[in-house]
Chain A
Amino acid sequence: VQEDNRPRPAFDFKAYMLGKAAAVNEALDVAVSLRPPLRIHEAMRYSLLAGGKRVRPILCIAACELVGGALPMAMPSACAVEMIHTMSLIHDDLPCMDNDDLRRGKPTNHKVFGEDVAVLAGDALLAFAFEHIAADTKGVTPARIVRAIGELARSIGAEGLVAGQVVDISSEGISAVGLKELEFIHLHKTAALLEASVVLGAIMGGGSDAEVEKLRIFARSIGLLFQVVDDILDVTMSSQELGKTAGKDLVADKVTYPKLLGIEKSREFAAELLQEACSQLVGFDPEKAAPLVALAKYIANRQN
């Protein structure tokens, strides 16, 4: 990636991430409070508050602030995308799906609470994501909130997240899976929710249609980038470093970018995607765009 030489305002990425993550964690803790029936809410909170870097909520907030919105406008949406992300992980880890025992370094939800509660906790998080946006978004016109809900619903359903999971499941063990299917899986399974995160933030923040569409392309690029990097890390890192089972893609005979392109070409592809993402941010105020630029670079360069 080319670095430009213009003087840039100092941006402390680490402090930014920690600050926003803390705000998101607090908001999630309040939103999904412990109430009866306790066990199902414990299960929801177990996975939702298990840590994680909160990349999706922070993207949502950063996009909102980029187009001139204030943090509270985006916070319910930011929490909602994390609830959806958590729900998809809980259901993905189930024995009938990926059958994972470990997630973010901890036993998976169904290992602790049982499969029945894990299914229900996921469903409840999914539903609550929509309730939270619809009922708790402040300072945004109803028309924008309705539009954002439509975006979220589209991105996680059979045309989005679920489509990616379906193709992923049905391509497992099939060696003839090509680059096109692989891209379909990742654009839907990973990029769709990242896209929704950014687009919801931009809509809630009052962004123009042109701004929303630019940020959509930005998000799609970093979504794919996220997965390419994930694939590379799965080959190059240990389980301990990743906090989840490494080499699982190889064992499961899953098609990955390194398998299709080789490690080097995969790294080149990642660099292209980062370039494409950052180019979408060019017209914006560089100071306000700094968090998204840094997030894109972080996704490209992360080690776990």
Chain B
Amino acid sequence: MDSNYNEQSTPAVCASCLGPNPYVEMLRERNGLECKLCTRPFTVFKWAPVKGRVGSGSFKKTVICLTCARSKNCCQSCMLDLNFGIDLTTRDQLLKLASGNGGKIEKTLTQDPQNQVMKIYKADQLERKYAEQGEAGVADLSEKMDRAKELLDGITKLSESTSSNKITNKKSSGKQSTVTNGKKMSSAELLKLCKDLPFNGRLSVPPTNKKVKSFFIFGINDRIADYLIKEKINELLSEPRNSSKKVESLSVNHKGMFGFIELSDRATAERLASIISSKQSPEISRGNASYPFPCLLVIDSCPMRVCWAGKHLYNGGDSGFEMANIRQIVIRQMVKYAEKDNEISIKRESKDDHSILSASNKKRKLQALPPPPGKSIKYKTTKSDYEL
């Protein structure tokens, strides 16, 4: 074994683990623990990153052996990559991206043996290999960084060029995704399923039952996280971020593309309803007429519809078959309401007392800027997402 790069004398630890002090006092224990990766005993080092500090996180120690750390190029203590300070899964993902689809590099890094004997055997083999290589096996640091930078540059360029392609791919692939196993539901069954899902509800008229303080949302895209909806509603209610006080609970059924929001009290619920519906149709709400459909809510450029929930929230089954059926209804409804919105906006434009010029001006404005949520034009463009 090479004495310069020796397990007995120096741990391979990253700068952040060592702490700010250039003089670190270390405790060494030969064969102190078993390596968490290869289960062989190894020399454990223990030190305090900040001297004299008490309490949590005041000591660090090495948890894997030098051979394992070297094979993964990670810190012996925190197991972050030595060059970048990022975790190994992300690093391997990046290497995979860098090497294209037929990635060779990451295979050797991620496929670890599961069996203990194999683990030990593999580690021994690696150790022998490194001992033979000696110093030559360790690449020069600056060289490494240059190569890494090249790789990163390539990856970011690649992602920028392919990101637009990817989105279009997703759209096309989404069209084939509904599978109902060849079975069909009878209309009676469907009705029963959708008993508590008010697809034809509205937001502008609060329900007479004063106990109702929840909303029904549908059209929720799979990539919208629950907390994003929560944050959006807090934002609409102009509450500080992360204060979950106003939103009592939020449950989303991603397979059925619908969900329910429960607010803390009826007053806030009514406030939220008026905020969302005023965004939907400023002209209508000013007049006496109310918007007769569920209102549009756009989160992260994904459109969804909101209306008051009924007395009972959905309590039906949640099998894949049922959810697929509900999902199809949701999609159909989303398309229907989008078309109705179009009709309304066209009617409104023709009925409007404004001159043609101002109307066209308005239209141009809407097209130039990213349209605010609630404007039908935005929805028209994203409608194709919902055709399956």
State yes or no: do A and B come from one complex.
no
- B residues near A (Cβ < 8 Å) are none
- A residues near B (Cβ < 8 Å) are none
